[in-house]
Structure 1
Amino acid sequence: MKKLLNTLFVTSEDAYLTLDGENVVVNREKQVTARFPLHALAGIISFSYAGASPALMGACAKRAVSLSFCTPRGRFLARTCGVSNGNVLLRRTQYRTADDPPQACRIARMMVFGKIYNARWSIERTCRDHAMRVDTETLKAASAKLKALLPQVQAETDSGSLRGLEGAGAAIYFDVFDRLILNHKDVFSFTGRSRRPPLDPCNALLSFAYSLLANDCAAALEAVGLDSYVGFLHTDRPGRQSLAADLMEELRPCFADRFVLSAVNLGRFSAKDFEVQENGAVYLSENARKTFLQGWQEKKREEIRHPYLEEKLSWGMVPYAQALLLARYLRGDLDDYPPFLWK
């Protein structure tokens, strides 16, 4: 299993990254502000418009260090890639499977099953832990509806209908999401999912979490030799890492959403941590992004027991574990792709 190394988050909008020997150097206004040993990093995510030097990009590609660029608001822009060292036979199998609708749907339905299952258990966990503070009857009703979708997902053989079931599950889940928020409802009330741009503080947090999770999933898929741009649930689109979008679906409710809910309920953010643009878009401030990223990195180091592998591993390793399981299925080592099922 890949070792969980540090991820370097560069949050200053004017930071330019360069390479000095074996070190990543952060420069601002032509002055060196920090340096980090490259060998200690698993990835670098830059939220700066200034970019990075070609030498650093080459060094990251050579050492398999993921180097990703996002806007200061968290929207993914690009990742650097070197010469692919993935198993060519594995990728050829991935492409053939993606072009075979029944086979693609077989993998996609397991991912959708995992998403709906985990959404249900996120609701159930809130009912269990905070029964005296929430509308248990409404939440239990939503949980029952999600449970009823699971056998339909398992039986579905058409990709279009499967996406319809996924959308129905998401609608049920987000319809009660506001009831999972226990504190600071004056700031973080949730009336519906909005993105590109997010229109309220809660959606700003969710969008930022999803950007980070998508990047982690893309890095995991590339690390095991898969093509993160060719998916089974999400169709091909120029510039979209469709397989990363597939893989993150089952991890949204149990990792990204629960992280945001914990941060809000524990009071880690307040109204002053958000900036409202003229078009109504709401984004985290620079200091808030730093707080978010620090908590995200801490969350990734928390240990859990993987439900399929039955081994202890950190949350940060879950995307790698799922990417490995997907690769094993495509190679024929497993009868089905086992989604991550959380409780």
Structure 2
Amino acid sequence: MKKMLNTLYVTTQGAYLNKEGETVVVNIEKEARLRLPIHTLGSIVCFGQVTCSPFLLGHCAKNDVSISFMTSYGKFLAKVQGPVAGNVLLRREQYRQVDDPLASARLARMFVLGKVTNCRTILGRVARDHADKIDAVRMDETIHQYSRVSRKLLHEEDLDNIRGIEGRAAHEYFNLFDHLIVSQKEDFVFAGRSRRPPLDRVNCLLSFLYSLLYHDARSALETVGLDPAVGFLHRDRPGRLSLALDLMEEFRPVLGDRVALSLINLGQVRKNGFNVTESGAVMMNDDTRKAVLTEYQKRKQVDIEHPFLKEKIPFGMLIFAQAQLLCRYLRGDLDEYPPFVWR
């Protein structure tokens, strides 16, 4: 199993990163604020107006440390990395299966099954822990409905039907999402999913966390030699990493929604940590963004037993483990791709 390395998130506007020997130095207002050995890093993610020296870019590429650039609110812009060690035979098999509708459906349904099952777990935990604060009857009905959807997915072989099932399940889940917020109810109201741009504080949190997941999914797929742009559930579109979107589906509830809910319900983020632009878009300020990144990194370091591999690994390595299992399935070593199911 690959060793879990740190991700350095740089959010301070105007920060400048450079190389000193074998270390990465973060400078703010021409003063060195942080030094990290290159061998401890797996990736660097820069938000907004953050720049890097050419020597650092080359050094990171040489040491297999990717550098991603995001907008200040988390939209992916570009990535700098060294040569990708792709397995041409593995990628050829990936492309063959993508072009086969039945093979695509077999994989797509497992991605959706993982997502639906993990959404059901999120709802079940809230129903158990906060039964006095929610519409328990409606929550139980949705949980039972998700169980029926899971059983149906196991036998579905039409890709369009699978997408339809996923869309309806996601719609019902987000219809209930406001019930999962049990504190700061007046400040964090969720009326539905809004993306580009997010139009409320909850959507701002979700979009930002999903962007982090997208980055991690891409890195995991490239590490194992798969093409992150060619997906099974999400089809080809210029500029979109469809397989990264496929892989992150089963992790949206676990590392996206759950972190967002914890931040709100435990009071780790507050109303005044968000700003509304003239266009109506809601953005986090620097302190809130740092709080989100800190919680996301903490969650990734928590150990969990993988339900298929039966070994303890950090949460942050789960997406890499799933990328490896996807490779094993494509090579024919597994009869089915086993999605990650959170208990």
Taking structure 1 as the reference length, what is the TM-score of the superposition?
0.96
Aligned residues of 2:10 and 2:50 also touching (Cα < 8 A)? no
Q: What is residue 124 of structure 2 aligned with on the other side?
A: 124
> What residue in structure 1 maps to residue 250 of structure 2?
250
Distance between the aligned counterparts of 1:39 and 1:202, measured in 2? 36
Equivalent runs, 1:1-343 vs 2, <5 Å: 1-343=1-343
Unpaired runs of at least 5, structure 1: none
1:29 shift after superposition: 4.6
SS at match of 1:250: helix
CA contact (8 A) 1:25 1:32 kept: yes
RMSD between superposed Cα atoms in Å: 1.4
Post-superposition CA distance 1:114-170 (Å, at most 9, x none): 111111111011111222322211101111222221232222222222111110010
Kept in 2: contact 1:122–1:253 (CA 8 A): yes
Native 8 Å contact 1:16 1:48 kept in 2:
no
SS of the residue 1:213 aligns to = helix
Matched residues in 2 for 1:93 and 1:107: separation?
13
Match of 2:44, SS state, is: strand
- What's the CA shift string for 1:247-285, capped at 9, x where partnerless? 000111122111111111101111110011111111111
Which letter maps to 1:289?
A: R
8 Å CA contact retained: 1:94, 1:330: yes
Deviation at 1:230, TM superposition (A): 1.2
Structure 1 position 13, deviation (Å) = 2.3
Give unpaired runs (5+ residues) of structure 2: none
Mapped to 2, the partners of 1:75 and 1:135 lie a distance apart of 34
SS in 1 for 2:186: helix
* Count of equivalent residues: 343
**C-alpha contact 1:23 1:36 (8 A) present in aligned 2:** yes
Deviation at 1:31, TM superposition (A): 4.6
**Equivalent residue of 1:104, what SS?**
helix
Q: Quick check: 1:146–1:172 contact (8 Å CA) kept in 2? A: no
Asked whether the equivalents of residues 12 and 50 of structure 2 are also in contact (C-alpha less than 8 Å), the reply is no
In the alignment, residue 192 of structure 1 is paired with which amino acid? G
Amino acid at match of 1:311: E
Please tell me the residue identity of whatever aligns with 1:305: E
Letter of the structure 1 residue corresponding to residue 202 of structure 2? C
CA distance in 1, matches of 2:64, 2:100: 31
Counterpart secondary structure, 2:333:
coil
What amino acid sits opposite 1:68 in the alignment? S
CA distance in 1, matches of 2:136, 2:194: 26
CA deviation map 1:23-73 (0-9, x unaligned): 112234555443221111111111033432333223222222222111111
Q: Deviations over 1:184-220 (max 9, x none)?
A: 0001121101111111111111111101111111111
SS at match of 2:193: coil
Deviation at 1:81, TM superposition (A): 3.0
Aligned-residue sequence identity (percent) comes to 52
| Partner Cα separation in structure 1 for residue 337 and residue 174 of structure 2 | 26
Matching residue's letter, 1:170:
A
User: Contact 1:15–1:48 (CA<8 Å) still a contact in 2?
Assistant: no
Structure 1 residues 51 and 93: CA distance shift in structure 2, 3 A: farther
For 1:321, give the aligned amino acid: A
Provide closer, same or farther for how the CA distance between residues 192 and 99 of structure 1 changes in structure 2, counting only shifts above 3 A. Answer: same
Return the alpha-carbon distance in structure 2 between the equivalents of residues 136 and 170 of structure 1. 19
